[in-house]
Amino acid sequence: MARIAVLHNTLDGRGGADAVCLHVCAALQDIHDVTLVTLSRSSLSTLNRLFDTDAAVPVHRPPGTALVSRAFDALPERVGPALAPRSVLLDRAFARHASRFDAAVSTANEFALSLPSVQYVHFPQFNRRWTPVGEGGRLDPLWSRLAGLGDRQLPADARLLANSGWTADAVEDIYDRRPTVCHPPVDPPPTPRPWDDREDGVVVVGRLAPDKRPLRAIRIVDGVRDRGHDLHLHLVGSSSMYPDYADRVAAAAAARPYVNLDRDAPRERIDTLLETHRYGLNCKPREHFGMAVAEYVAAGMVAFAPDAGGQREVLDGRSDRLFESTADAVETVAAAVAADARPTLPRDRYASERFHAAVRDHVAAIL
């Protein structure tokens, strides 16, 4: 049994990366002494209910970081989630305790760690200006230097994983090292309805945040309805990081009787919607993997997504499920509804048992 630190900057966004973190804790907790090191304020019990996980590990929140974390939490409406500076702070705080551990697992992208590590990259958080698909921002050089990665050299003993081939390409662009692709865990919901018993509705799962484009989803369903298809829409997502934007989404939903909004819905409600509706829609361009898209597939839905990023892999590059613009999305969804298109992709492709086994194997390899 080894002493393992799982590092995650913040779990308060309650997105796919956070689900990966809890699954990593759950995969390792029975065979190692695991501690979750995070700046997050969210409780494990709340997150376990949201992600249907059973992580039960000690949580270490570095002393003195609570005030700074609250300041970060006030930023997303103006500057985004500030993941890079959060990670710099976490790295500095963890360095004082690193000697207590035999190895670390980062579920919050790349770090310059002083001990053997497995680093799961959802998308590089530093040196983004060195990849054509990155959006580093003007402070990217500063955060990269403060993280100890200004020279674009990751620790030699770090084992790199990526959530998709598209993300692996970006990591290779920046660090000249290609990670192993390890898709995130997505289990099929327990009791999916047969296709003929499902509702003619669209489900959108994801943060109520500008990058997820829920307002675009509303416009797409508006357009499909204008084509004569009586679809309704369910928007389901966390509103904790972008409350003002979430209010805009709520106002747009309230103006349409066919749009329903579930803010901060429990896992049971999400599963019910996935099990009982025919169509799933993602609107974020260049999604790094697309946990929601994979959830739609696992639930036996017909899924649609922008033709960019890791979500292309989830949908096997199918042109009849991918779109370039809002107008193209309307055409694509309307064509599928008119043809009564059925799901064809395997539902258990990303089952959590596969992910847990892979995580245990990668950690064993660095010990």
Tens of pLDDT along 264-283? Answer: 888 899 999 999 999 999 99
- The candidate with the shortest Cα–Cα distance to 224, out of 342, 335, 340, is 335
How much is the pLDDT for 6?
98
Residue linked to tokens 């230097």? 145
Question: What is the per-residue burial (b if ≥16 Cβ within 10 Å, else e) of 276-296?
Answer: bbbbbbbbbebbbbbbbbbbb
The Cα 15–Cα 21 span in angstroms is 10
Helices 326-338/214-226 angle, 10° precision:
50
Inform me whether the pLDDT recorded for 77 exceeds 50: no
Lowest mean pLDDT among 9-18, 70-79, 113-122, 305-314: 70-79
The Cα 191–Cα 214 span in angstroms is 27
| Topology given in CATH for the domain delimited by 195-338 | Rossmann fold (3.40.50)
C-alpha separations of 166 from 171, 268, 301 in Å: 9, 31, 24
Q: Is the dihedral of CA 160, 163, 166, 170 positive or negative?
A: negative
**Helix (H, G, I), strand (E, B), or coil: what is residue 187?**
coil
Q: Is 229 exposed, middle or buried (0-12, 13-18, 19+ CB in 10 A)?
A: middle
**Angle at Cα 156 formed by Cα 152 and Cα 160, nearest 5°?**
80
Share above pLDDT 70 across residues of the chain, in percent, rounded to a whole number: 95
Inform me whether the pLDDT recorded for 78 exceeds 70: no
Q: Is 186 exposed, middle or buried (0-12, 13-18, 19+ CB in 10 A)?
A: buried
Residue linked to tokens 């993941």? 83
How much is the pLDDT for 70?
67
Inform me whether the pLDDT recorded for 65 exceeds 70: no
Classify 93 in phi/psi space as left (phi over 0), alpha (psi -120 to 50) or beta: alpha
Q: What is the pLDDT of residues 156-172, one digit of tens each?
A: 999 999 999 999 999 99
Q: What is the pLDDT of residues 307-327, one digit of tens each?
A: 999 999 999 999 999 999 999
Inform me whether the pLDDT recorded for 196 exceeds 90: yes
How much is the pLDDT for 305?
98
Residue pair 213/237 in contact by the 8 Å Cβ criterion: no
The Cα 345–Cα 340 span in angstroms is 16
The Cα 157–Cα 113 span in angstroms is 9
C-alpha separations of 157 from 100, 150, 180, 274 in Å: 18, 18, 14, 41
How much is the pLDDT for 41?
84
How much is the pLDDT for 68?
66
How much is the pLDDT for 88?
95
Q: Which tokens go with 178?
A: 């290609």
Rounded mean pLDDT of 255-259? 98
The Cα 41–Cα 20 span in angstroms is 17
- pLDDT band with cut points at 50, 70 and 90 for residue 140: very high
Q: Which tokens go with 10?
A: 């913040």
Question: What is the per-residue burial (b if ≥16 Cβ within 10 Å, else e) of 38-74?
Answer: bbbebebeebbebbbbebebebbebeebeeebeebbe
The Cα 175–Cα 130 span in angstroms is 9
What DSSP designation does 106 have? E
Give strand pairing partners of 201.
Answer: 232
Mean pLDDT (the chain) is: 93
| Topology given in CATH for the domain delimited by 3-185+351-366 | Rossmann fold (3.40.50)
pTM above 0.85, yes or no: yes
Rounded mean pLDDT of 209-220? 96
Domain pair 3-185+351-366 / 195-338, same fold: yes
Domain boundaries, the chain: 3-185+351-366, 195-338
The Cα 362–Cα 158 span in angstroms is 10
